[in-house]
Structure 1
């Protein structure tokens, strides 16, 4: 098959690790031809260009700045991107017939691109639903509920769902939400297709872990709780900071690694507090991050308590891959914590519940046998539910049944 993948993620090569590159690499390994359309932002100062890398065709389309930019440019860029992608595909892929169109949210503004390729090539369209927009923007008070922008993007959202032959949701709660709030969507075309990766299990020795801890200034004799990933408003990071300060006199250490719109505020907080039980680091290259992560003990996920949509962050997979128990401090709507507790590899804490958070932290630190068992269960959950082979099979079976 010829597969067209539309994304806002900058993809340079499929050798990079991630939920999208791992899936596309699986398609390539199975003998399919992969074509990627990825942004080349204005700040990169590169015109639209085609690159053939490792047997994969990557079309980098000139766009406005979409990440780490002001709200106005991001808004204009999000609206313009479907026309930019459409024109680039017409020009560079005019003679290529696609069998499958894969795309993820965000954004929800690829409708014209999908509609064009579907009609031209009679292609199958598969949505990997990673973000429920615009409701998440309403939850974060970026849009007024029922306002002009909200109504406009609701229309775009429904167009995208209508064009998609299958909608792959990250979890059962995601699937239930989509069907409950979009009664016009045919329930037969909605399925659970979770975030997935091709696991790489690194067996670092005790001495290697010690050297990595020394390199980054981490304590050698404390349980290290790590938060890695985006540092933005959706993560509700005030509760992370409260957790760190609440445990300032405990025998635990918190490592925060990432980047995002809240990084400067968090850095200022670290400078003001001068706490000895925590360290803030900016984002690392994937390989370095994985080595550092493998030297930590417990993974942490935070989500804003005001979310009404069931988010399911992909950073969970990095923690499970390292055999780490996970604490999910989230809103009441996501089923992330339920999954962790069902498979006995983590805990669910309601965002803002500091008493329960501290109880969970203490429970992890004081029961070594249980920690070991949770670590084994974390790896077992990853291999059972979140391997890329499963996602690939779901998509491939859909095509075979057409």
Structure 2
């Protein structure tokens, strides 16, 4: 079957977890005998491009920048995604039948495109819903509740949901919240995040730590989006509290609209135990995960939604113990703690987070045990094979 995969970010140039996950899904569909076709924007091209990556066909269409720009520019450019995509890809989509559509949110603006493809090819669609946008903007008070901006985003959110034959949310708690809000209006199920861990052993070890003279330290690593939703000050307070230890270093890699806040905090507090690096190639990112010791994550405490950060899968695949904080009620905390895959707390419990960090810094055997448990958890719940089978069953059963 020919399956269109629609997303707002993709490899090889992105380091975002969503881009990696979508490529792993595309490769898994290819392995299962299907023909995945990825449709995604690129702000660095002026003309439509077609190329292949690991056997996967990728259609890239020109679009304004939607990452690491002001919120107004991002909103304008994201609003144009469906229009620009259809404008450039409809000719190529007409040449061969599309048998199914898989689209990833965020962004919320692909609904009109999905609707057009469905009408033309009479196929089913599956929405991978990983973020409750614009709800988190309201929670963070970035936009006003019931204001014009929220109404605008809610309009496209509805189109996005209505275009789906099935919606996959990332946890049981998210499913409960979604059903509580929309009742039985939509067909919703749990689709856990996923990772391909089969090729992990052939990835080379990074030399980054030796280049930075950090090879003898315990490295606490954060990799991924650095934005409002992550509440990076939660982790930066931990960095400051651990500044007295010469054997520990925090390495933060990623991009987002809170990078300047992180950099200012490091500078203002003269923190020598923390290094921020901008995005690095995905191949190097995977190699870095092979040489760090603890995987960090954080979610803002005032979120009313319950995300399961995709970055955790990379940590699990590399047998890293997990340390982080979440909003109250988020079932990711129970998943990590019950599996003894690390330590997860409610955001704001700084003392518990610090004590856990100290334990992980001082006890090599503890890190090894928790990391092994994290890998077992990945195998049990978060394989790309399970995700692909779930999606295919909904599209073609």
Choose from 222, 228, 234 the match for 2:229. Answer: 234
> Do the aligned residues in 2 keep the contact of 1:224 with 1:298 (CA within 8 Å)?
yes
Cα distance, 1:340 vs. partner? 0.3
Alignment of 1:196 with 2:198, yes or no, is no
1:88 aligns with 2:88: yes
CA distance in 2, matches of 1:74, 1:127: 22
Which of these residues, 337, 342, 352, is aligned with residue 341 of structure 1? 337
2:37 to 35, 47, 51: 35
Q: How do 1:380-395 and structure 2 match up within 5 A?
A: 380-395=376-391
**Higher RCO structure (Cα 8 Å, ≥6 apart):** 2
Q: Residue 101 and residue 244 in structure 1: after superposition, are their counterparts in 2 closer, same or farther (change >3 A)?
A: same
Contact 2:6 2:40 (8 Å CA) reproduced: yes
Paired residues, number: 392
Q: 2-side partners of 1:329 and 1:369: how far apart?
A: 23
Partner Cα distance (2:293, 2:79) in 1 = 42
Shift of 1:271: 2.7
| Counterpart Cα distance in 2 of 1:258 and 1:133 | 21
Offset of 1:203 from its aligned partner? 7.5
Other structure's SS at 1:228 match:
strand
Residues 13, 54 of structure 1: 8 Å contact kept: no
Equivalence map 1:3-402=2 (5 Å): 3-11=3-11, 18-41=20-43, 44-52=44-52, 55-186=55-186, 189-199=187-197, 200-202=199-201, 212-220=208-216, 222-250=217-245, 251-401=247-397
How far 1:133 sits from its partner (Å)?
1.2
Contact 2:195 2:317 in 1 (8 A): no
Local SS of the residue matching 2:284: helix
Tell me if structure 2 keeps the 8 A contact 1:228–1:257. Answer: yes
* Contact 2:293–2:367 under 8 Å retained in 1: no
Measured in 1, the distance between the counterparts of 2:141 and 2:32 equals 44
Q: Distance in 1 between matches of 2:257 and 2:109?
A: 23
Is residue 294–residue 367 contact of structure 2 (8 Å, CA) maintained in 1? Answer: no
Q: CA deviation at 1:289?
A: 2.1
From the superposition, tell whether residues 317 and 165 of structure 1 become closer, same or farther in structure 2 (CA, over 3 Å): same
- CA separation in 2, counterparts of 1:90 and 1:101? 14
Separation in 1 of the partners of 2:280 and 2:55?
28
Deviations 1:103-143 (A, max 9, x none): 01012222222222222211110000111111011122222
Superposition TM-score, scaled by structure 2 size:
0.91
Q: CA deviation at 1:56?
A: 3.4
> In structure 1, what is the Cα distance between the partners aligned to 2:195 and 2:3?
19
**Whole-angstrom distance in 2 between the partners of 1:246 and 1:156:** 43
- Name the SS for the 2:179 alignment partner: helix
How far apart are residue 3 of structure 1 and its match? Answer: 0.5
- Inter-partner Cα distance in structure 2 for 1:48 and 1:182: 38
Q: Is the 8 A contact 1:324 1:374 kept in 2?
A: yes
Q: Output one character per residue of 1:337-389: Cα deviation in whole Å (capped at 9) or x when no partner.
A: 21101111111122222111112113334444433221111110111111100
**1:301-325 deviation line (CA, Å, top 9, x unaligned):** 0111121111111110111111011
Cα shift at 1:239: 1.5
Tell me how far apart the structure 2 counterparts of residues 139 and 60 of structure 1 sit (CA, whole Å). Answer: 33
Q: CA distance change for structure 1 residues 54 and 225 in 2, over 3 Å: closer, same or farther?
A: closer
TM-score (normalizing by structure 1): 0.90
Aligned residues of 1:329 and 1:351 also touching (Cα < 8 A): yes
What is the root-mean-square deviation of aligned Cα atoms in Å?
A: 2.4
